[in-house]
Structure 1
Amino acid sequence: MFRIATNPDDLIKVFIVRGIVFLEEQNVPYAIEMDDYENSATHILGEIDGEPFAAGRIRFIEDFAKLERIAVRKDFRGKSYGHQIVDFMLDIAKSRGYKKFTLHAQAHLRSFYEQHGFHVCGELFKEANIDHFPMQREE
C-alpha cells in the first residue's frame, strides 16, 4: 500500500496526488508546492490497485528527519490512511537512525499529529496562505 517512490512512474503518481490535494483543493501556488528539494527528498507513495491516493516526502537534515507534503486524496480520507502514511514515514526515518522528527502542520491538523507524538514547538505562521504550526517529536 505504501512504498518509497523509486522510479519515474512512482514520482509522477506522487506529484499527481500532491497536485490534486495542494494545488486544486487548497489553491497552493505551484511555485510554492514544488521546490528545490524535490530531487533530494525521499518520496512516499500510497497506492491501491494501481490508484495513487496518498503521498508524502521526507528530508533528512543533519540530526533530524522532516516530514513534508503529506497528502491523502479526498475520496480516501476517513479511512486511517493519513495515520498509516505518517507511521510509514516515521518508520523509514527510524530505520535510518533518526530519533528527532519535525514537520509544519496545517493548523486544523494539529491534533492529528499530536496523536503521533508531535508537539507544537513554535508560533503559528502562514505558509502558502495557510496557518501552520511547527511541530516536533523526539524518541
Structure 2
Amino acid sequence: MNMNAQAIQAVTEQEIEDVYKIRKLVFVGEQGVSEEEEYDEHEDKSDHVLIYYEGQPVGAARTRVVEDMAKMERVCILASHRKHGLGRVIMNKLEEIAKEKGLKKAKLHAQTHAEPFYEKLGYKRVSDVFYEADIPHVAMVKPL
C-alpha cells in the first residue's frame, strides 16, 4: 500500500472541481475524448473519488448504482503518477463505497490496455471488445 497516497470521497466544491480537472487532463487532453462525452447526465448521481499523492490531487474516479451493481467509471491517474499502485488505492475506495451501500457486485468497462490491471484486482472479463469514445473496451465484473 502506498503510504503517501490517500483516496477520499469527493464532496466539497473544490474536491469535485479537482475530480473534473484530472478527468479532463486524462480523458479529454490525453485520450481525445470530447468534453460532451466525458461529462454526462450521471455526474450528480455518482459518488466521486479523488486520490491525493503527497497532498496533491493526482487521480479520480466515480461509481454509481446500475442494476443493483456498483458501476466503476472514469478511473484515471495523471500520467506523471502511474505505475505507483495508485489505481489499486482508488479501486479499493470505490469498492468500499459500494459495500457501504450494500452492493454485492461491481462492474466496469475497462479500456483493453487496462484489462490486466483489473484482472489483478479480481475482475473477470464478461464481454467481447466494444468501443466507447472510439476506444476499445471490455466489460468486467467482480463479486464484492
TM class by smaller structure: over 0.9
Percent of aligned pairs with the same amino acid: 35
Q: Which runs of 5+ in 1 are unaligned?
A: none
* Residue from 101, 113, 121 that aligns with 2:118: 113
**Structure 2 residue 136 is the aligned partner of structure 1 residue 126:** no
Offset from partner CA, 1:33-92 (integer Å, 9 cap, x none):
010001110000112354210000000124110000000001111110011111111111
TM-align CA RMSD: 1.1
**Pairwise CA distance, 1:97:** 1.1
Please give the alpha-carbon distance, in whole angstroms, between the structure 1 residues aligned to 2:10 and 2:88.
19
- TM-score for both structures, normalised by structure 2: 0.92
User: 1:4-61: per-residue Cα shift (whole Å, max 9, x none)?
Assistant: 1111111100001000100001011111101000111000011235421000000012
- The unaligned stretches of length 5 or more in structure 2 are 1-5
What residue identity is the alignment partner of 1:117?
A: G
Which consecutive segments of 4 or more residues in structure 1 shift more than 6 A? none
Alignment correspondent of 1:135: 140
TM-score calculated relative to the size of structure 1: 0.96
Alignment partners' CA distance in 1, 2:52 and 2:139: 28
Distance 1:85 1:125 in 2: 24
Q: Partner residue of 2:58?
A: 53
Amino acid at match of 1:6: V
